[in-house]
Structure 1
Amino acid sequence: MKLTKFAIIGMVTVATLAGTGTHALAADGGTLGSKADVNFIPNDTITNPVDPTDPDGPGPITPVDPDHPAGTAGPLSIDYISNIHFGEQKISGNNEVYKAQLDQIKVGVDETIKDVPNFVQVTDNRGSNAGWHLTVKQDGQFTNGGSELTGAVLAFTNPTVNSASESDAPEVSDFALNPEGIASDVMNAEENEGMGTWVEMFGADNQEAAESITLSVPGKTSKVPGKYEATLTWELTDTPA
């Protein structure tokens, strides 16, 4: 009986609508598609150096060293390299190990001078996530005019990477340079590593950094008063090692 009663009610409802001439209409509204887009172009700007101890902090920073080299332009770039200074040292007939001075940068709007570990900065803005490789070589021994620091060895230890990027970090390791120009690995980013801006500090903090770059000079090496200099060439390639 319940089934019959429901059927009758349904019939009455339909008859009432048909009898009054009222039509059932679609609900107001509807759907419509639209598009959003973005057009990426190669990034050929120079990336400014950052504070290596605070890459996500306010920047850019300014090097204090007036002889500091300018960074390279392009989507894959070397943005900053510290010049290495060992300062004035008294001539010695003994084997000596000299320690590099800390780098100095200017930070903030008031350009406060800050001591930081010596560092190198690399930026990968290519978007391909293909990886990259940074090496360095020493283009000859330290010289002062016709005098050469025979047997001197420049070494870099305690490498520490830092970045505001969330990508995986490149690989780093200690290295000592050969004055015959043989390249040493500095940083290596495999595929899907090292995107964005990365710094490698030699020393995790200033205390460790003060011990991290050394120049070992044999006591038997002839030395004359004056400044001995060597040139380092840093090379960044677009594929990992």
Structure 2
Amino acid sequence: MKKIHYIVTGISALTLAGCLVPAGSVFAANDTKTSVAEVNIIPGNITLDKVPDLHFGSIDIGQITAANVDLNLDNNSIDTSGPVKDGTNAMDGNDNGELTVADNRGTSAGWALTAQLGNMKESGGKTLKGSLTLKTGDVVTDNPTLNAVNPTVGKTLDIGGGSVPIWKADALETGTNGQGQGKNTALLKKGSETVLHLLKDPTASAGRYQAAITWTLADAPL
């Protein structure tokens, strides 16, 4: 009888232990779900934000009547008494030498900037002949990849001549993704290699000479 008593007691303990295990815990599986994070980037515009005025100082008339003259860029402040820049036509040039293109379209479509130099004239109508070379090593872009056509490579505009490509950004199909996107600034100021070349003129007249520079931004490479 004693042996039977122990066997019965053991069975009762095992039964009791089984009753204490939470229902379903032994057979539970991992439960995974997925959600999404989203942000929308709104496209902007492409703009020519800044163009510089260019002042090449002063020379004695004897210099140009005797020979060709090369004048380094002196500063970016232009007299507003004409003949081109005056009280009724202040133009768009700034006095800190900044040339800035901002491309916020987010399309990688590329762009092109051209410049054209008008006649270099004084108030009496007398003109000068020559050219202007635009060049600077001070170029800062949000995307450092550059087309070979940019302000670090000198481009020469003839006085009274046609438009010349100054800066290009390649489209995605032909260049680096995002080339030219964001802010792109070149500084054309004293210390750059921007030079005005004037041809010898034995009949030159004294006076203040000015020429308009027309900058044109296209929304695709030329």
Q: Which range, TM-score by smaller chain?
A: 0.5 to 0.7
CA-CA distance at 1:228 after TM superposition: 0.7
CA distance in 2, matches of 1:232, 1:130: 26
CA-CA distance at 1:231 after TM superposition: 0.5
Question: Is 1:38 the counterpart of 2:39 in the alignment?
Answer: yes
Q: List per-residue Cα deviations over 1:191-220 (Å, max 9, x = no partner).
A: 2311111112348xx64x1xx122222232
Q: Secondary structure at the match of 2:24?
A: coil
Q: List per-residue Cα deviations over 1:89-131 (Å, max 9, x = no partner).
A: 2212222212211448xxxxxxxxxxx9844111111100111
Q: Secondary structure at the match of 1:147?
A: coil
Tell me which residue corresponds to 1:61.
none
- Equivalence map 1:39-188=2 (5 Å): 39-43=40-44, 75-92=45-62, 93-95=65-67, 96-103=69-76, 118-139=97-118, 141-163=119-141, 165-171=142-148, 172=150, 173-188=153-168
CA-CA distance at 1:18 after TM superposition: 10
Question: Is 1:216 the counterpart of 2:188 in the alignment?
Answer: no
* Structure 1: gaps of 5 or more residues: 1-14, 44-74, 105-115
Scaled by the length of structure 1, what TM-score is found?
0.62
* Structure 2: gaps of 5 or more residues: 1-13, 78-94, 172-176
Q: Which amino acid aligns with 1:84?
A: L
Q: How many residues align?
A: 179
Q: List per-residue Cα deviations over 1:114-152 (Å, max 9, x = no partner).
A: xx984411111110011111110113x111123333322
- Matched-pair contact (CA < 8 Å) for 1:94–1:219: yes
Aligned-CA RMSD value? 3.2
